[in-house]
Amino acid sequence: MERLRRHRRGADSAIRAGAAAAAAAEVEAAGSPPAAADARSAAFFDVDNTMMMGASIYHFARGMAARKYFTTRDLARFAWQQIAFRLSGERPEDMAQTKEAALSFVAGMEVSEIVRLGEEIYDELMAERIWPGTRALAQQHLDAGQRVWLVTATPVELAQVIANRLGLTGALGTVAESEDGAYTGHLVGEPLHGPAKAEAVKALAEREGLDLARCSAYSDSANDLPMLSLVGHAVAVNPDSELRREARTRGWEIRDFRTGRKAALYAIPTAAGVGAFTGGVIAGVALQRRHNRGSPTPPARRADGHGALAGALGAALSGTLRRTR
């Protein structure tokens, strides 16, 4: 009975997260289809390791480290903890624990600051990491007059920056609650991950009048099977082993744009959505803002001392590793 209640709570949270993502999705005029377009069809693309080499939040964190919001040592710890978290299976209970540990840092952080930094860091570090093959697939849909959306656990503000830079229609991402332009420290629902992505796509399809049987979805991860299973045309892009097996079983198309060397260089496990974002990036920003208000401690030292990038995640992630040993 308790397991059933947890399942229902999880389903309700995924629905809330999906509805929030769809409600927050903005249409970029540059990517909007012409009047004569196929308005009932669209394509949905995962970001990390599908549209972009590696994890978008990791590249964002690199840019933050370069700006002295935290240290390169923190960045290395962040990358390792992402790997540990991915190896644990990204269990929902661990994601929830990580989220609760991290979100206390968010309150008061300005949304506009993240957007500004996202634009700068995309141009510096992310633009060159877009997979040309996946970008070409997205362009084919645009050329056919279809809308193209990113669907990612990355915070919606950063996801929208990526969509804007690529000339896509818009983005569905994790939604952090904000009031008067500042984060409150709470999520709306849960990170846009797994079933929540599928709920976001369904909510957007209802809002935009899409026929999911005529839509396409692209992802590298078996975590996105709920989203891939919704549409009439599913494509495994740079797939992990589980998704490759599933794609072969279901007769889905497989596209792999990696070489052996690139797979080794760029296969950085994806972050646990907004938990990693708020626990690392926003924590670093928040500490920097406190420093700017009068703290005598240099931001890099302060970030390292408090584990700005890794501290909020450390307890949850180390606990995850212990439980899997």
3-state SS class at 184 = strand
Q: Are 165 and 125 spatial neighbours (Cβ–Cβ below 8 Å)?
A: no
3-state SS class at 231 = coil
Write down the residue that tokens 């992310």 correspond to: 126
DSSP line for 107-130: TT-BHHHHHHHHHHHIIIIIGGGB
DSSP line for 65-101: HHTTSS-HHHHHHHHHHHHHHHHTT--HHHHHHHHHH
Say how many residues make up the chain: 325
How far apart CA 273 and CA 202 sit, in angstroms, is 20
Q: Are 168 and 43 spatial neighbours (Cβ–Cβ below 8 Å)?
A: no
Q: Are 217 and 234 spatial neighbours (Cβ–Cβ below 8 Å)?
A: yes
Q: Which amino acid is at 270?
A: T
Which residues does the annotation mark as catalytic?
46, 48
Radius of gyration of the chain (CA): 19
Q: Checking DSSP bridges between strand 176-179 and strand 233-237, what pairing results, if any? A: unpaired
How far apart CA 85 and CA 251 sit, in angstroms, is 30
What are the Cα distances from residue 123, in Å, to 28, 116, 119, 142, 170? 18, 11, 6, 22, 18
Termini Cα distance of the chain: 28
